[in-house]
Chains A and B, each alone.
Chain A
């Protein structure tokens, strides 16, 4: 059985996705780097389930204390 999505809803979902991508694209460079760090955290968790991490597969420490 397939689920039919009304075209208006599909358009809204697409627009939402476009808006999200635009927002991510428009972030400041420091915010983008912080987002890369968040992606690293996710990647490290995922990779660790499959295999040992390589030397460079470490989450960056960006903020200085």
Chain B
């Protein structure tokens, strides 16, 4: 098992410990898995917390406590797991929550890893303040290179009132 698989296994442990309800890899690593390798220095992991929580206010403290107990160092907004900076992000919007729920399990050398589907990556990149030039470039890359379910993508764009940019 390499360090990437070990990091994913550690994240799976968050679920086993019921600290989170679900997770999915997003960002540039998800893009790498669906299309071509792309430069990134961290692993973005979107998480859902248990829905039986009494409060809407999300705290990452249980995750940081879990990290401390396992000797993983926290650096700014990252937790260093097996030398990889992992950014754990509570899914902030209904679209992001759905993206985590609908993520698919890929096989990383025998280690299961849940990854946000390309259609959701596209929709997330088009959503509100996330719509930066860098993310629009990722949309173009996914549309060109990934196996995108265009029916699902169209449904998502309609349901969340999003639109694809004009690519010339």
Contacts and interface: CB of A to CB of B under 8 A. Distances in A.
Interface string B73-103: 0011010000111000000000000000000
B167 interface: no
A21 B146 CA distance: 11
Nearest to B4: A33
A37 B42 CA distance: 11
Given A36-B39, A62-B4, A25 B145 contact: yes
A57 B41 contact: yes
A57 B75 CA distance: 12
Contact of B84 (A39, A57, A60, A64): A60
Interface in A29-43: 29-30, 32-33, 35-36, 39-40, 42-43
Interface string B1-27: 111111000000000000000000000
Contacts, number: 73
B3 A39 contact: no
B41 A40 contact: yes
B48 to A, nearest CB: 23
Given A56-B75, A60-B83, A60-B84, A30 B36 contact: no
- Chain A interface size, as a band, is 20 to 34
Majority-rule SS of A interface residues? helix
A63 B32 CA distance: 19
Interface stretch (B106-114, B125-133, B156-164): B106-114
Nearest to B29: A36
Q: Residue among A28, A43, A62 with the most chain B CB within 10 A? A: A62
Contacts of A43: 39, 41
Contacts of A24: 36-37
A3 B85 CA distance: 47
Interface of B: 1-6, 29, 32-33, 35-42, 75-76, 78, 83-85, 106-109, 113, 145-146
Interface of A: 21, 24-25, 27-30, 32-33, 35-36, 39-40, 42-43, 55-58, 60-64
Top 5 nearest A-B pairs by Cβ distance?
A35-B37, A39-B39, A61-B83, A56-B85, A24-B36
